[in-house]
Structures are given as C-alpha cells and as structure tokens.
C-alpha cells in the first residue's frame, strides 16, 4: 500500500479531507464526481462539494453521509440473520453497478493479468521469506499456495476491466438505516482495473477483520455478497474468485511481512491472512 498523508475533519453536514499531495486530492475528487454524476440506483456516495487550496494544502469538501457500518452486519450475516444477509446482497449488487460506470480515470497500477499475478505472488514471496519469523511464516504459507501452473487453468471472468473502488472494505461501506441502500466512501484508490480487486479484497478484509467468522462460516457473509454481484455463482466462476481471494490474501501477508518490525497488529494481519488461505484451500473447490 502506498503511504498516504491525509486528515479528515467533520464540520457540520460536511466532511473535509485534507491532502498533502494535490494530485491525490484531484484523483479522488474526479472519481467521486464521476460516480455521483452517474446517478447510481443501488448505492449512494457523498456529494462532492468543492476542491480548493487551503494554506498550502489541497482540500476536498463533500457531503457527510451516515448509516450503520457494514462491519456490524458481517457476523450477523454469518449467523443467518436475514436483514444482514440482505444488506450484503445489496452491497454486492451495488458494487456491480459501480463497476459498470464509465469514467475517465487512470488505470490501476496493480492491474496485472492472471499470469503476471501468479509470478508476482510466487516470486515476491521469495525475497520476503529471508529470515527468522518471516521464513517460518512463509514455510507455513508455502503449504497452502497453489502451484504456478494452476493459474493458467483458471477462467478469466473476474479479471474484466471496470471502474473499481480500490479499497472496498467494510469500513468504507455504510448501510442507510431507512432505505438499506449501501453508501460507499473513500475513493482515494479508485481507478480502472480488474474487478477481482474489489471482490477479493472485500472477502479477504471481511475474513481478516473478523477472525471469529472463519469458524462461524465466512460463506454466510461471502455468498450473499457474491450473489448480489453476479446474480448466480457457477462453480467455474467461483474457482476463479477463490484464486483471486488467495492472491489478495498473499498480498496482505506480503505487505504485513514487509512492514513487520512494525507491531503486533501487522503480524496478526499476516497470520489471519495465512489462516484465511488455509481455510480457503481446505474448501473442496481449491485443488492445489
Ligand atoms: N463523506 C463522509 N461522511 C461521513 N464520514 C466520512 C466521510 N468521509 C470519511 N468519513 C469518515 O472518516 C473516515 C476516514 O475517511 P477516509 O476513509 O475517506 O479517509 P482515509 O484517509 O482513507 O482514512 P483511512 O486510512 O482510515 O481509511 C472514514 O472511515 C469515515 O468514518
Ligand atoms: Mg479510507
């Protein structure tokens, strides 16, 4: 993840986001404006109000939005709560609509084809796994990684180009308390890139954000989200999704390890990603 230097201030009905790097502010503002002006039916975004210079910093002003954070629904969905399951379905449907919006945004830097992804997933681990605890974690991880050839057999259906959110985590999603409409915030990483990034990041972040889910059943939250997105879930598609999820989990692990020396939180993230991979690979469909 690139380092970002920003601050968010709530003032009345508005939210002010201050950037050190003007290009980043402009990028987020353009994405928000394109999405807002597209007038989506299945989700809302904050209305962008202004972009301006304030004492040497670039500032975005937008509408303050609200609702229940999606994270509150995740465990409930896993336990079979119908309202929570419906909310996750709505989030999937809304993401599909976001992905269909036409916008003139830059391409994502990490928009790799699946073959390149395989190479990155495998080769980047080699130099991460150099010493001590890292080597231990990587040794464990290698037991759950697919063989590189396996990547070539997987269908490409979640790799189509879309307008993606870029950080599609539960913490950037609210559910409107009256209408149950999903509300998306933080388009700082929005770009044109493969759809799997949002789909897989969502599932992996749900898993790493709520470890208890892995026992309660990640599928309880994952399935309604994916059904909302795809309408149905043919097994061929599910295989390609699980590959994308495993790949994103590897990236979480890699980022955590690279930033290690950096506290218990990151080590925990790495372990959770690892555990997630293990659970994912135990599900019958992943035959590596
Ligand atoms: N338009 C908004 N309406 C209401 N709350 C908002 C809005 N924008 C941001 N927030 C609140 O501020 C927090 C940080 O905003 P945002 O994610 O856009 O900034 P960030 O710099 O990416 O922060 P982080 O790194 O924590 O994600 C959000 O998690 C949310 O709680
Ligand atoms: Mg954010």
Atom in ligand 1 nearest the alpha carbon of residue 69: 31
With the most atoms of ligand 1 within 8 angstroms of its CB, the residue from 15, 44, 60, 71 to mutate is 15
Atom in ligand 1 nearest the alpha carbon of residue 63: 1
Give the list of residues 6+ apart from residue 141 with CB closer than 8 angstroms, or none.
125, 250, 253, 274, 277
Task: Find the residues whose C-beta lies inside 6 A of ligand 1.
Answer: 6, 8, 15, 17, 46, 62, 64-65, 171-172, 185-186, 188
- The answer to whether 211 and 274 have CB atoms below 8 angstroms apart is no
- Nearest Cα neighbor of 179 from 42, 73, 13, 85 is 42
Distance, CA of 283 to CA of 273 (rounded, Å) = 16
Which ligand gives the minimal distance to the CA of 1? Answer: 1
Nearest CA to ligand 1 atom 2: 64
Nearest CA to ligand 1 atom 24: 186
pLDDT, tens digit (0-9, with 9 covering 90-100), for 131-179: 666 666 666 666 666 565 555 556 666 777 899 999 999 999 999 999 9
- The answer to whether 277 and 207 have CB atoms below 8 angstroms apart is no
What are the 10-residue block averages of pLDDT along the chain, 288 residues in total?
72 95 94 97 98 92 97 91 96 97 86 56 60 66 62 64 93 96 97 90 86 75 93 75 78 70 65 70 50
Distance, CA of 225 to CA of 188 (rounded, Å) = 23
Q: State residue 288's pLDDT score.
A: 40
77-116: burial string, b at 16+ Cβ within 10 Å, e else? bbeeeeebbbbbbbbbbbbbbbbebebebeebeeebebee
With the most atoms of ligand 1 within 8 angstroms of its CB, the residue from 185, 187, 189, 205 to mutate is 185
Atom in ligand 1 nearest the alpha carbon of residue 62: 1
With the most atoms of ligand 1 within 8 angstroms of its CB, the residue from 31, 70, 186 to mutate is 186
Give the list of residues 6+ apart from residue 193 with CB closer than 8 angstroms, or none.
107, 108, 110, 111, 161, 162, 164, 166
Distance, CA of 213 to CA of 224 (rounded, Å) = 15
Taking the model in full, what pTM does it have? 0.88
**How many angstroms does the Cα of residue 138 sit away from the middle of ligand 1?**
33
Encoding tokens for residue 31?
A: 């994405």
Atom in ligand 1 nearest the alpha carbon of residue 4: 21
Distances (CA, A) of 121 to 118, 240, 244: 5, 15, 11
- The answer to whether 206 and 42 have CB atoms below 8 angstroms apart is no
Q: State residue 114's pLDDT score.
A: 55
Q: Give the pairing type, strands 14-19 and 48-54.
A: unpaired
Strand partners, 107: 192
Chain centre to alpha carbon of residue 169: 5
**How many angstroms does the Cα of residue 17 sit away from the middle of ligand 1?**
8
Q: State residue 213's pLDDT score.
A: 73
Distance, CA of 246 to CA of 250 (rounded, Å) = 6
- As a three-state string, the secondary structure of 206-271 is HHHHCCHHHHHCCHHHHHHHHHHHHCCCCHHHHHHHHHHHHHHHHHHHHHHHHCCCCHHHHHHHHH
- The answer to whether 169 and 60 have CB atoms below 8 angstroms apart is no
- The answer to whether 204 and 236 have CB atoms below 8 angstroms apart is no
Q: What backbone torsions phi and psi does residue 178 show, to the nearest 5 degrees? A: -90, -50
All structural domains of the chain? 6-63 (3.30.200), 68-282 (3.90.1200.10)
Encoding tokens for residue 260?
A: 């290690």
Nearest CA to ligand 1 atom 1: 64
Q: State residue 96's pLDDT score.
A: 96
**How many angstroms does the Cα of residue 23 sit away from the middle of ligand 1?**
18
Encoding tokens for residue 28?
A: 């987020």
């Amino acid at each position: 993840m690139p380092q970002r230097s920003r601050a968010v201030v709530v003032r009345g009905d508005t939210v002010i986001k201050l950037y050190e790097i003007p290009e980043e502010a402009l990028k987020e503002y353009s994405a928000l404006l394109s999405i807002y002006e597209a007038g989506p039916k299945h989700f809302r975004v904050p209305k962008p109000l202004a972009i301006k210079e304030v004492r040497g910093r670039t500032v975005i002003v937008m509408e303050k939005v609200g609702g229940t954070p999606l994270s509150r629904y995740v465990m409930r969905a896993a336990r079979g709560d119908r309202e929570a399951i419906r909310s996750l379905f709505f989030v999937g449907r809304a993401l599909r609509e976001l992905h269909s919006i036409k916008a003139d945004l830059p391409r994502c830097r990490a928009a790799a084809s699946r073959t390149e992804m395989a190479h990155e997933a495998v080769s980047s681990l080699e130099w991460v796994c150099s010493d001590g605890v890292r080597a231990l974690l990587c040794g464990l991880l290698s037991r759950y990684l697919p063989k590189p050839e396996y990547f070539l057999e997987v269908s490409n259906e979640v790799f189509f180009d879309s307008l993606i959110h870029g950080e599609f985590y539960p913490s950037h999603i609210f559910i409107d308390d009256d209408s149950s409409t999903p509300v998306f915030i933080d388009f700082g990483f929005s770009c044109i890139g493969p759809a799997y990034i949002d789909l897989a990041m969502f599932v992996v972040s749900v898993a790493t954000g709520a470890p208890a889910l892995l026992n309660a059943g990640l599928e309880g939250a994952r399935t309604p989200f994916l059904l909302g997105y795809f309408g149905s879930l043919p097994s061929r598609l599910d295989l390609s999704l699980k590959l994308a999820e495993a790949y994103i989990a590897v990236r979480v692990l890699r980022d955590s390890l690279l930033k290690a020396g950096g506290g218990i939180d990151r080590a925990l993230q790495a372990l959770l990603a690892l555990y997630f991979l293990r659970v994912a690979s135990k599900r019958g469909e992943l035959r590596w």
